[in-house]
Amino acid sequence: MTKTINVKGVKFGGRSPLALIAGPCVIESREGCMAIADKLVKLSKKQNIPLVFKASYDKANRTSINSYRGPGIAKGLEILSEIKEKYNVPVLTDVHSVEEIHIASKVVDIIQLPAFLIRQTDIVVAAGESGAVVNVKKAQFAAPWDMAQVVKKIESTGNTKIMLTERGASFGYNTLVADMRSLIIMRELGYPVIFDATHSVQSPGGKGDSSGGDGRFAPYLAKAAAAVGVDGMFIETHPDPENALSDGPNMIPTKDLSRLWKKLSAIDEVK
C-alpha cells in the first residue's frame, strides 16, 4: 500500500478516494483564475471531490520567446494566496529554480518539479529541503524506474512527503504516449501516484512556435488510469480552451469536469 500524503485534509494514497488536482495551465489574470477556482470549489463541494487547485505563475518552458508566460512569481503567488485563503483549498504551483522554491514554498502547499528539471539535483534537493509536499512530474525522457533516484534525492533531506506524476513519454517527434505500466511501477516506490491526463495528450512543439495536442483523448486516458489505480488525477481546465494562453489544445473544458468526475469516481470505487 502506498504512503498517505495529507495536504490540508486532502489525502493522496493509501485507501483514500481519488483526489483531483485541477486548474488552468497558467494564471492569465486574477479575475480569470478566481473564476476557475470558484467553479472548481463549487464542483468539489457538490460531488465531494478532494481538491487541490493548481496554476502556474510562470511557464518558463514555453516553445517560443513570444509565448505568454504568466504574471510572474510575485503577482502569481499573491493570486494563489488569495485563492487559498478565500476558498480554504490547498494550492500547487511549479517552480523553476532554487530561489523560486524558497519563495513559493512559503505560500503554496505543494511544490511541483517540472518534468524537464527532475535531473537538476540542486533543484530537487531544494524542493525537499523546503518541507513542502513535493509533486514530481516524470520527464518525457525518463523511465518509470528512473524515478527511484529522484525519490532518493528528496528523501536525503528528510522529506518523505512525495508524490509522483505520469505525464506521458516521448514517442518520436512531437508526440507523447501514456504507458499505463508506468503507474504500477512508480507506485511500487511506495508513494502516491498521480496521472496527468491533459499533458499526456500534448504534442510538444507540435505547432512549430507552440505546443499542440488533442484534448479529446484526455478523458479516455483519465478513465484508463483510474482503472489501473492511481491516487490522484491532474487535469488542466479552462472555460474556453480554444482561447487559453497556454496549452489550450490539451485542456478539458471546465463545464465537462462534473460528468467526467462521476465516471472517474465510479471507476475508482471498484478498482
Instruction: Collect all residues with Cβ–Cβ distance below 8 Å to 100 and sequence separation of at least 6.
Output: 73
pLDDT for the residue numbered 66: 80
pLDDT at 208: 72
CA atoms within 13 A on the CB side of 37: 27
Instruction: Give 189-245 pLDDT, tens digit per residue.
Output: 999 999 999 999 988 776 776 677 788 999 999 999 999 999 999 999 999 999 999
φ/ψ (deg, to 5) at 104: -65, -35
226/242 Cα distance (integer angstroms): 27
Q: What is the mean pLDDT of each run of 10 residues along the chain (271 residues)?
A: 94 96 97 98 98 95 83 97 98 97 98 96 98 97 97 98 97 92 97 97 75 87 98 97 90 97 96 69
Cα(186)–Cα(183) distance, integer angstroms: 5
Alpha-carbon distance of 146 to 104, in angstroms, equals 26
Q: What is the DSSP letter of 198?
A: T
CB-CB contact of 125 with 102 (8 Å): no
Locate 27 and state its grid cell: 494564471
pLDDT given at position 65: 87
Residue 79: partners with Cβ closer than 8 Å, 6 or more residues away: 27, 30, 33, 34, 55, 57, 71
Res 23: pLDDT: 98
pLDDT at 67: 83
Q: Where are the beta strands (DSSP E) in 2-159?
A: 5-7, 10-12, 19-23, 51-54, 91-94, 110-113, 133-137
Can you list the domains of the chain with their CATH numbers? 5-246 (3.20.20.70)
Q: Residue 241: what pLDDT?
A: 93
